[in-house]
Amino acid sequence: MLPPNQPPTVSGSIPDQRLSGPGEATTLDVSGHFSDPDGDALAYAAASSDTSVVTVSMAGSAATLTGGSTGGKGRVTVTARDLKGAAASATFGVVVNRAPVASVEILAQTLWHGATRVDMDLTGAFSDPDGDDLTYTAGSSDTSVASVELHPGPVVSLAGPVQGEATVTVTANDPDGLEARAVFPVAVVENPDQAILWALREEFVAIADRGGGTFRLSSPSIPEVWRWDVPLGDWYGVDVNGAGRVVCLGVCWAKEEGGLLQRLSTRGGVPPELGSLEALEYLALGIGIGPSPGFGVGAGSIPVELGALANLEVLHLGGWLTGPIPPEFGDLAALKGLSLRGWHLSGPIPPTLQNLANLERLSIGTMSRADGGSTDVCVGSDSLAAWLVETMGWSPDQVRRCRGSAHLIQVVQSRDASVPLVADRSAALRTFDIAPPARARFYLDGTEVHVADVYEIAFDAAEGQAMYVDTIAPAAVIPRSVVQPGLEMVVEWDQGRFPQEGCQTINVVRLPPLELTLVPLVSSNPHRDDSFTRRLVEQVDQMAAELNQVGFGLLPAHGCRLPPCGPGSFGVEVKTHPIIGVFETNQRRVHSAETFLGAVGVIRQLEGGTGYWMGIVGGEGPGGLAVVGGYVSWSAPESAEHELGHNLGLRHPPNPAINRRGEWCDAVITFDSDYPYRGGRIGAWGYDLGYPRFVPPNTPDLMTYCYPSELTRTGLEQPFPGYGVWISDYHYKKALDHRRRRSPPFPAPNEPVWSLLLWGGYDAVDGAYLEPAFVVDAPPSFPEQPGPWKLEGRDSGGRVLFSLPFAMPEIADVGEAAGGFAYTLPVRPGWEDLASVTLTGPGGTATLDESTNRPLSIYRDGDGKVRAILRGDPVQADGAAGLSAGVALDVVTSRGIPSPVAWR
C-alpha cells in the first residue's frame, strides 16, 4: 500500500519587497521558500491583494512584481501545489514607493531691496506618503535679482540685491529619486525703510565715537554718507535685519571689525515718520543737536507715531525734548527700556506705561547741563506712583504728584509767576500738569472778558526759528485789551480747575511810556566824512521809528509788537536829536569812551532834557557805556537795549567764562553778586510773542558781558542758536521795579537860569578828572544823594564859595571801576570870583584853576540845542560847520575856570 500524499510546506518566509515606484518591476525566485515532503514537483501561482498597488505574474517559480499605478503598500500571496493538488501558501508585503507631494502652495514673495537673508521654513511645504526623508534643491530664474540658498531645517534663504522679478523653484526628492516641485514668484521692490530715511537724511547729524568716551560732530555729513546706491545696512548709525528692515537707529556699531560706535542726532525734533519703521527694535537719538546754523538748533515734542513700533525694545531720546509723553507709548508691548531726557518734558506721566509688562528700565528726567531746563512731568494717581516706586525702582522723592497750575508770560516768567505783567501788552498762557483740552477764563471787575481754549501743551515744536512758524505749537495768546490791572483767571480741565477755588489774581502793573532821546554822536578820532555822518543820522532815524513801533523786546518798555495797535499801546516814546560832534584830543586817553558819556550828560543838562538820553555811534560791533540807574548812555545800535538795562538799574551777571579776546567775561566791576543763575544764564523760561517761541533757561542774559558769538567752550556752554540773548526773571523784575520807582511822568524842566556847569568823573586808570567848567543858561540840576565825593569851589583867597558832597554815579561797561557826573548849579553872588574847583573822593583828586589850559568849546544853535562839543577854542576846533552846515551856531569856550567875561 502506498503512503498517503503529504502537502507542500513553507520552508521559510518570503521577505517583503520594495519597488522604487509605479511601473517599476522586480523578479524573485520563490522555490527556495517551499518544499514537498514527498519530493513532488511543485507548481506556483501568485495573487496581489491590490493590483492598483502591485501586480504579480509567475513563470515557474519566478514571481515578477510590478508597481501599480497608485503605489503604496500591498501584499502578495504565493501558493505552491503538488501533483495531487495539495498546496501551501506564503504571503509577503510589497511597498511601491510614491512620489513626494507639495502639500502647501508657496505664495508669491516680496523682498525689500537690499535684503540679505529672508528665511522661508519649508517644514510642512512638502510631504512624502511613505514617510521617506526628503532632500531639497532650489534655484532662481535670475540670481542677480533673487538669489537662493538652502539651510538645514529645511530653510530656504532669499536675498534681493537689486529690484526686479524672478521665479524660484524648490524641489523635494525622496531616496528613490521621486520628486515634487513648488514654483513661486519673487519680486524685489523698493525698501520702505530706506525711502523713509532717505527723505529724512537732512534731519540727521552724525556724532562719531573718538574713543575714550568722547564724541563729536562727525564729518562727512549724513547726506554724504547716506547714499541711495549703498545698501541700507551700510548707512551710518543704521543696522538692518536679513529682510533689509531697519532694526537699530541712532546708536549702532560700525560694520567693520573693531569699528567704533556710530551715533545719530536730529537737527530738530523727532521725525514722526520714524513710527513707520515697523521692524525697529532699538531707537536711540540725540534730539536737536546739530551743526550750523547752530549747535542745538531745534526742539520738539515726542510724536505719538512712535507708539506704533510694535517690535521696539529700547527707546532712548535725549536733548531738546518738550511737551508731554504720549499715552500711546503704553502700546509698545515689546519695550524693555525707556529713557527720556529732555530740556522740558511736561505734563502727567501717562498711566498707560503700566501696561508694559516687559518694561525693565524707566528713566524720565532733565538734561544734566546746569540751569538747562526743568522736567515738569508728574504723577496723577496713587497706582501709578506705587508702580514707579515698587516696579520701576524710583525713589519716592522722584515721584511728583500733579498739581495743575497756570501762569501768564510776556517776556520771562518764573514757575511761581513772580514776574508781574505790564498792562496793555499781550501775554501767553502756559499750563503745568494739565492734560489738554483745557479752557482758561479771564475776568476784569468780576466780568468775563476773554476765553482761551488749550488743545495741546504749548511748546516750541519748530526749532525755535521763524521760518518754521507753520509747525509751531504756540501758547494761547491773551490780547492786550485783557491784560489790565485787576485781571483774574480760572483754568478748567477734565480732572480739575486752577485754582481749586475762586480766581487766580494776575499781577498787572501799568507803566507810563519810557521817554528816550537818541543823539547821533560823531568823533574826529578817527575823522568821519560826510557820507558816514549822513548814514549815521539815517540809522538813528530808522532806529527811532522802529522803537516807537515795537519798543524794547526784553525790557519793561514794550511797543506794539502784535498788530492791530490801539491808542495807548505804545510803551516807548522815542525822539531824535540833531547830530553832535564830540572831538576828543585831550591829554587823557585819546577818544576816551567816557567823553561820549559825559557829552550826553552835558547835553541833557544844558537842554533841560527829560527821560533817558542815549548817544548813538556808528561803526560795527557792540559797545557802549551807561550810568547805572541814571538817565544817560551811549551805545552802538546793537547794544542799545543792554545799555538801557544799565540805566534801569541792572548790572552784569557774574560769568566765569573767557571771550574770544581772552578776557574774562566778569572782568568788569559792575556785576551783580546777587544774580541767582550760574554762568550768566537767564535761568527761567522766556517766551517770544513775536515769533512765537519759548526761550530756554540756558540762554545768555541780556546783561552778560559776553555776547553769544564771543563765548567759548572753556566757559559758558554754547548758547542756543536762534535765541541770541534774552532776559532773566531776576533782571526783568529788577528793571520793572526800577521803572515803577523812577518813572512817574517826568515833570517839565525848570526854567533855564544862569548856572555853573561842572562835569567830570573818575576811573581806575586816570583817577579823578574834571572837564572845563562853563557858565551857561540851563535848568539847574543837583546830585540825587550825598556821598563820599565832594565838589568844592574857592576864590583866589581860599574862601569856599560852594561845597557839594555827592555819590558818584556808577558807569557800567568800562572794564574797571568808573563814574561820571554833570551838574548845573545856579550861580550865586560872589561866584564870579571863582578861582579853583576841586573834586575829591575815594578815587583821587582833580583840580581846575587859573593855570588850567584845556580849551573846550560848546556849540549851540538858535533853539539852544547843542550841536558840538569840541576840544580847542573856536579857531582851533574847526569842523563844527561841517556837522551843522547852514546852521547859525553860538559858541562858548572855557579853558578850565570860566573867564571873567563868561560871568557877565
- Span 171-202, pLDDT tens digits: 999 999 899 999 999 999 989 999 999 999 98
CA pair distance 20, 17, nearest whole angstrom: 10
741 or 457: which leads in pLDDT: 741
Q: What is the mean pLDDT of residues 205-213?
A: 62
**DSSP string covering 119-148:** EEE-TTTEE-TT----EEEEEES-TTT-EE
pLDDT at residue 295, rounded to an integer: 36
What's the distance, Cα to Cα, between the start and end of the chain in Å? 194
The three three-digit cell numbers of residue 274, written as one number: 520714524
pLDDT at residue 299, rounded to an integer: 55
- Span 541-596, pLDDT tens digits: 999 988 887 788 899 987 655 555 544 445 788 899 998 887 554 433 333 556 78
CA atoms within 13 A on the CB side of 565: 14
665 or 502: which leads in pLDDT: 502
pLDDT at residue 558, rounded to an integer: 74
816 or 267: which leads in pLDDT: 267
CA angle 242, 243, 245 (to 5 degrees): 105
835 or 206: which leads in pLDDT: 835
The three three-digit cell numbers of residue 809, written as one number: 554815579
458 or 109: which leads in pLDDT: 109
Other C-beta atoms lying within 10 Å of the C-beta of residue 133: 8
Strands 204-209 and 261-266: antiparallel
pLDDT at residue 661, rounded to an integer: 54
Q: Is the dihedral of CA 102, 104, 106, 107 positive or negative?
A: positive
- Span 225-262, pLDDT tens digits: 788 888 888 888 899 998 889 999 988 765 554 555 78
CA pair distance 903, 893, nearest whole angstrom: 12
pLDDT at residue 460, rounded to an integer: 40
Q: What is the mean pLDDT of residues 452-461?
A: 66
- Span 25-80, pLDDT tens digits: 999 999 999 999 988 899 999 999 999 999 999 999 999 999 999 999 999 999 99
CA pair distance 732, 723, nearest whole angstrom: 17
Q: How many residues does the chain have?
A: 904
CA-to-CA dists, residue 864 to 540, 605, 632, 756, 870, angstroms: 21, 12, 19, 16, 17
- Span 276-318, pLDDT tens digits: 999 999 999 988 764 433 333 445 678 999 999 999 999 999 8
**pLDDT-based confidence at residue 807 (cuts at 50, 70, 90):** very high
CB neighbour class for 6 (10 Å; exposed up to 12, middle 13-18, buried from 19):
middle
881, pLDDT greater than 70? no
pLDDT at residue 563, rounded to an integer: 53
Q: What's the predicted TM-score (pTM) here? A: 0.70
Cα-to-chain-centroid distance, residue 255:
30
**Alpha helix (H) residue ranges in 253-343:** none
Check: CB of residue 329 under 8 Å from CB of residue 307.
yes
Domains, the chain, ranges and CATH?
9-96 (2.60.40.10), 101-189 (2.60.40.10), 194-298 (no CATH), 307-402 (no CATH), 405-509 (2.60.40), 514-675+690-742 (3.40.390), 753-853+891-903 (no CATH)
CB-based contacts of 46: which residues, under 8 Å, 6+ apart?
A: 30, 56, 57, 58, 63, 76, 77, 78, 79
CA pair distance 588, 709, nearest whole angstrom: 32
The three three-digit cell numbers of residue 373, written as one number: 531746563
CA pair distance 240, 231, nearest whole angstrom: 10
- Span 364-378, pLDDT tens digits: 876 433 333 445 678
Q: What is the mean pLDDT of residues 102-127?
A: 89
Check: CB of residue 267 under 8 Å from CB of residue 290.
yes
826, pLDDT greater than 90? yes
721, pLDDT greater than 60? no
- Span 149-159, pLDDT tens digits: 998 888 999 99
Q: In what order do the strands lie in the sheet with 800-806?
A: 800-806, 789-795, 834-841, 844-849
CA pair distance 698, 295, nearest whole angstrom: 13
Check: CB of residue 168 under 8 Å from CB of residue 91.
no
Q: Which residues pair with 337 in a beta bridge?
A: 314, 361
SS3 call for 203: helix
Query: In this predicted structure, which of 322-326, 413-417, 638-642, 900-904 has the lowest mean pLDDT?
Result: 322-326
Query: In this predicted structure, which of 19-33, 714-728, 841-855, 864-878 has the lowest mean pLDDT?
Result: 714-728
Q: Which of 300, 302, 310 is nearest to 330 (CA)?
A: 310
CB-based contacts of 377: which residues, under 8 Å, 6+ apart?
A: 325, 345, 346, 347, 348, 349, 364, 400
Q: In what order do the strands lie in the sheet with 109-112?
A: 109-112, 179-189, 164-173, 135-140
The three three-digit cell numbers of residue 635, written as one number: 551805545
**pLDDT-based confidence at residue 875 (cuts at 50, 70, 90):** low
The three three-digit cell numbers of residue 481, written as one number: 485789551
**pLDDT-based confidence at residue 437 (cuts at 50, 70, 90):** confident
Q: What is the mean pLDDT of residues 325-354?
A: 89
CA pair distance 638, 552, nearest whole angstrom: 12
pLDDT at residue 491, rounded to an integer: 96
pLDDT at residue 528, rounded to an integer: 61
722, pLDDT greater than 70? no
Strands (E), 141-222: 147-151, 155-159, 164-173, 179-189, 204-209, 215-217
Query: In this predicted structure, which of 202-216, 397-411, 687-701, 814-828 has the lowest mean pLDDT?
Result: 202-216
Check: CB of residue 302 under 8 Å from CB of residue 328.
no
Q: Which of 200, 195, 170, 202 is nearest to 114 (CA)?
A: 195
The continuous run of DSSP H or E covering 732 comes out as helix 729-742
